[in-house]
Amino acid sequence: MTEISHRYVRVNGIRLHIAEAGSGPLVLLVHGFPECWYSWRHQLVALAEAGYRVVSPDQRGYARSDRPEGVEAYTIMHLVGDMMGLIDVLGEEKAVIVGHDWGCSVAWHAALLRPDRIRGVVGLSLPHLPRTASPMLPLMRKALGEGYYIVYFQKPGLADEELARDARTTFRRLLYASCGDNPEDVPMVVPYEGGLLDVCPEPEKLPSWLTEEDLDVFAAEFAESGFTGGLNWYRCMDRNWELTAPWQGAPISVPALYVVGDRDLTLSMVPKNMISERAVPLLRGKIVLPGCGHWTQLERPDEVNEALLGFLNTLA
């Protein structure tokens, strides 16, 4: 069995924790909210055994990595810059980058901003969404109200305290709420004077892909870090819109793959065609996993690994 090793590297003035395995062409696995390197444990081993050097960082603000002060330290430019710096520290020229959830935004933007460093890009859950004509937060407030979870996350300290109160409960309820095993669609709208976890059901039993030991690991990884760093990514959404103005209308110019579960709640937030071949002209596939929810690589590791290896094998 391939072992996963851990170490720290310095990138762009901060310390990042990375998990790594294998040798060969570099593949970066980039997590979303509220996750860490552990979300990629199945892919780290499978891709390494197939002949790849696989590295999964805790991104800035998360788990064992540094948590810079100030919301302004979490823009998409910082996040993409961290990935470019990581490629440098690892002694490589290029990498394939795979993202999930917020990690998709990092992956797609890495391919958009630095195609010279990215051999291919894979998005799990979130497609590449071209820059909108106006900032998204005012539109969300108008259409979905102050209770919509992304708007709720904007209030400093509020979600931070709620989610950190009992990290194990947070992970149990959040992971279950948005997975394909939950028979109910969860409206991600926080009730008045309530919190996000109030709309996330308590599972009668854990789904087969999530164990008590997994919850222990997630809770331990966030025991010191809390959730503020990850929430600050959401608080940079309008900043990101301003910063990416020079790339308005620019396509993703590297080979790409998109994988999503048909019960992923994010599908309600994206266009019906999910991903535009005009915006991603070198798209090599759209894979929809029946019965899969938001936590793609956790819920369906074998199918995700097969899709990733199939895509990787097409790259020169």
3-state secondary structure of 82: helix
Q: What is the dihedral of CA 236, 193, 101, 248, to 10 degrees?
A: -40
- Single-letter amino acid, residue 309: L
Task: Reply yes or no on whether 294 is catalytic.
Answer: yes
Q: How far apart are CA 75 and CA 8, in angstroms?
A: 22
Q: How far apart are CA 228 and CA 226, in angstroms?
A: 6
Percentage, residues of the chain above pLDDT 70: 98
Write out pLDDT tens, residues 141-179: 998 999 999 999 999 999 999 999 999 999 999 999 999
Q: Which of 101, 160, 181, 264 is catalytic?
A: 101
CATH number at residue 229: 3.40.50.1820
pLDDT bucket at 263, cuts 50 / 70 / 90: very high
Q: Count up the domains in the chain and report the number.
A: 1
Write out pLDDT tens, residues 62-86: 999 999 999 999 999 999 999 999 9
- Single-letter amino acid, residue 221: E
E strand map for the chain = 5-11, 14-21, 26-30, 53-57, 95-100, 118-124, 256-261, 283-289
Write out pLDDT tens, residues 196-223: 999 999 999 999 999 999 999 999 999 9
Cβ contact 293:264 at 8 Å: yes
pLDDT bucket at 272, cuts 50 / 70 / 90: low
Mean pLDDT over residues 12-19, rounded? 98
- Look up the domain containing 183 and give its range: 5-312
pLDDT bucket at 106, cuts 50 / 70 / 90: very high
